[in-house]
Amino acid sequence: MSFTAPVADIRFLLDQVLGYDRLSETETFAEAGADVTEAILGELGRLCDGVLAPLNRHGDLTPAKLENGVVRTSPGFKDGYKAIAEGGWLGIAATPEFGGMGLPQTLNTAMNEMMSGACLALQLCPLLSQGQIEALEHHASDTLKDLYLPKLISGEWTGTM
């Protein structure tokens, strides 16, 4: 089954339904204007279509398995995760203080929708990390933030359930 990232649909929802442009009128999200959002969505669409979607079937046909105490992921998942991490997608809504982009959670939600449609099996790992990033940002001590956030946001470490 082929997948095409619904960039135009997401753009329509952001612009015509949610009034996303109002966020860029705030001090917190002043840099999240139309040009930045369009660039983010375009790059995200290319990642989903070109990297993540082709992995979706591999996850079904060759699932992760445990061999001699070592987990072997589906073919291509390691490179797919690396592309997500290196692109900064784990920290799209995370605070810049720890390496995040500081963009609105609304854009993060749109990103998660596209990535989940492209390859949910792979996207579950970044989703767990994003949940932990958000929990730590809002509730952890500065010591824990300093320890965990840079590594979670960079993708060096991942969240677990």
Angle between helix axes 77-86 and 53-61 (nearest 10 degrees) is 150
Quickly name the fold that domain 7-154 has.
Answer: Butyryl-Coa Dehydrogenase, subunit A; domain 1 (1.10.540)
| pLDDT tens digits, one per residue of 98-141 | 999 999 999 999 999 999 999 999 999 999 999 999 999 999 99
Query: Helix, strand, or coil here: 76?
Result: coil
| pLDDT tens digits, one per residue of 88-98 | 999 999 999 99
Per-residue pLDDT band at 160 (split at 50, 70, 90): confident
Report the b/e string of 118-150 with b at 16+ CB within 10 A.
Answer: bbebbbebbbebbebbeebbeeeeeeebeebbb
- 147: region left, alpha or beta (phi > 0 left; psi from -120 to 50 alpha): alpha
pTM, to two decimals: 0.92
